[in-house]
Amino acid sequence: MFELTSEVQFALEATRQAGLLAAQVEKELVTAALTKDDRSPVTVADYAAQAVVAAALQRAFPADRLVAEEESGLLRQPQAQDALLLVTQYVRRVEPDADENVICEWIERGNGSTEGHFWTLDPLDGTKGFLRGDQYAVALALIKDGRVQLGVLACPKLNPAGQPSKEGEGALFVAQRGQGAWVTSLHQPQDYRRLRVSNQADVQQARLLRSFESGHTDAEKIEAFARYLNIQAAPLRLDSQAKYALLADGKGELLLRLLSPSKPDYREKIWDQATGSILLEEAGGKITDLRGKALDFSQGRTLRQNRGVLASNGVLHDLALAALKAVGAVPDEAQ
């Protein structure tokens, strides 16, 4: 069993509360979406979850920095007043004394610096999945000197057996550096089960974990990759870092984030990869960029020294790297 330090206790409870709150928003059909500059949807659940985690961090570790996805600027605009009222109503279920100004201040805590010791949060990973009623997650990770040390993932639509469960108890995943990866119930966290990656060594039987959304990847190159390796197994499609949880739990063997032709200069955000990466590594898997380089979390809010992501059960990693190169999915060093 992992060591239940004060940091682990905080991360488990804060992520759990945010995951349960997001599930309440989704269940009550609060899917009013604002729009960011990049046109991606942002829901009331995004802001509420970030506020709840930031408030908990402020109590538990007031000196710790938070690097998170959302900012409160959009919420403060007059046209977003209805959304802010909804966010406030939901946050008050966890923080009864919160007002709109305090909630916006909590959200703004996510603008912390990325030096040394800090937390990174994706308050609602898989927003489009959330809006469709499919998989989404709350992902919190602790990074120290550029290396992920702790990660917690709340998946309201997975059960502790790692199966999709639309009306189930939800799953809470945790990984601590050197102490394994584990899962328990989101609603009633008690018994923890240790996660292990698949030992499948036959690449033709490898299950690819794929997103429904293709905005940050190259679907054609993924198809070419599968053909090159003669993969026969049907892919598993789901949104969010829930894919990493299933990979860590032996429910798949390969996961790709290729460079989208429409976004050749895109760099992965640290909150999209930190929690999933430690879950996978602590379950015995491997994660690198498309060139085989380790993910470098010391470069700010993005993985700017890395291009794309390859995650695997470890056994198939080198074969997958070679296949990516063969089908032209590996970017030039100059890019």
What DSSP string describes 113-179? --SSEEEEEEEEE-HHHHHHTS--EEEEEEEETTEEEEEEEEETTB-TTS-B-TTS--EEEEEETTS
Q: Which residues form the catalytic set?
A: 46, 127
Q: What is the CA 176 to chain-centroid distance, rounded?
A: 16
Nearest to 176 by CA among 209, 139, 142, 205: 142
CA atoms of 278 and 289, how far apart (whole Å): 15
- Cβ-Cβ contacts under 8 Å for 38 (sequence gap 6 or more): none
171, β-bridge pairs:
155, 185
Please state the three-class secondary structure of 234-248 as a single string: CCEECCCCHHHHHHH
- Cβ-Cβ contacts under 8 Å for 63 (sequence gap 6 or more): none
